[in-house]
Structure 1
Amino acid sequence: MGNIEEFGKRLENLLKYGNIRGPKRTIRVTSVSFCPLRAALTTRYDVRFFGEKNKEKILGQVLHMGLLGLIKDSWPYLQGDIEANPEIEKEVSYDLGEGWLLTGRIDLVIGEHVFEFKFFSEFSYEKIPENLSDVEEDSVLNAYTEQLNAYLNMLPDAEFGHLWIFRHNELIPWKKLEIKKDSKAFKAFLKRARGIIELIESIENGEFPKDPKLRFNWECKRCIFRSICAK
């Protein structure tokens, strides 16, 4: 009888949601770029905010919101000959299958152009190279550029990516970097996202990874899960 009940549940989910799992579950683009175990735990337990307040982070968020508001309010003065209307904090998604969605919120979309604005608090101007191929392996820039590339690939009409780097306490950009759309890199990004799904399923089955693989060496110092992590 149990098997039939389970079959009925899967069939109902398939009819209602288009997959046997039920409602779509989401993984954020911004989570995929960092430690997969942290992404899995954050997604599984829906951790939105935890731990000590970070004044620099809060300030960065306020400036970020102010910048987007300025663009919206000043668009008649900014647009010039641009015919496309700006889309601010545009929600995007990509179906990973099996009831999972990769989701994100793009800062600004203008036609074929996608903009992401990042506020740095501890990276000096000199550490941001002119050429992205010179970026050090442990630099957070690698996460930001691949996130922007993911957005470019999630929007079929997008072709050009623009990453603007700001100081954490001002609205004057340090650097403006152009990102090329890379479908091969996006496939690697999707593979990492599906790896996070596998971790979530392992956790739900009572299996906690004994040797989590880090993305960046500096992540552990700031991680809210460090007290329960094998690292």
Structure 2
Amino acid sequence: MTNADWADVDRYLVETLVGNGDSQTLSSNAAAGLPAIDVSPPQGKFLYLIAKSLRARRVLEIGTLGGYSTTWLARAVGKSGQVVTLEFEPKHAEVARINLDRAGVGERVEIRVGAALDSLPVLTAERPEPFDLVFIDADKTNNSNYVRAALELTRPGSVIIVDNVVRNGGIAHADSGDAAVRASREVIELIAAEPRLDGTVLQTVGGKGWDGFAYAVVLGDDD
């Protein structure tokens, strides 16, 4: 099997199961010069279904880009829900706002612009209602910092998802010189060692290649 085969499967899934209603968002991102690092449509639908399964009403996203995954999450929380999404690049945030408003979910989404490591302490100090789901898809070297921050903003039963942790299989190599690979191993080992979390990693293939995500549940005293 090759990347071309995986992409063919993705296309079939989009045509038969996922739908391609948000293709304009991806086109707008490309036209604005944003990097093509959005989640794939099947992955976006998967995030939506996870949020729906959790009956999530509050979602925190770290890494907005052009708002493609944000749109899926905003649909999942419903009209009474909220997504708070953190984006470092002002241009990306501007594109995302246009995309979210066009998709009809803009009123459910708060975009906070700036470095997430600056925004997260401010958010924590506000003592918001806990988030049901946290999706982390930003600069990979800070993934462990983002998970630690997420633990302060969630509750038992909340889910934390970290995207792009398999790195084309790089995480199997402890001696890797790739900073993103080292960061992925660090966050996986953090989840393994953190008594407040129980998690796993699922490998994925598709049009975007070979990667995977970490999935962790926040535990309570009775777990």
TM-score under structure 2 normalisation? 0.29
Higher normalized helix content (fraction of residues): 2
TM-score, scaled relative to structure 1: 0.28
The answer to which structure, 1 or 2, has the higher relative contact order (CA under 8 A, 6+ apart) is 1
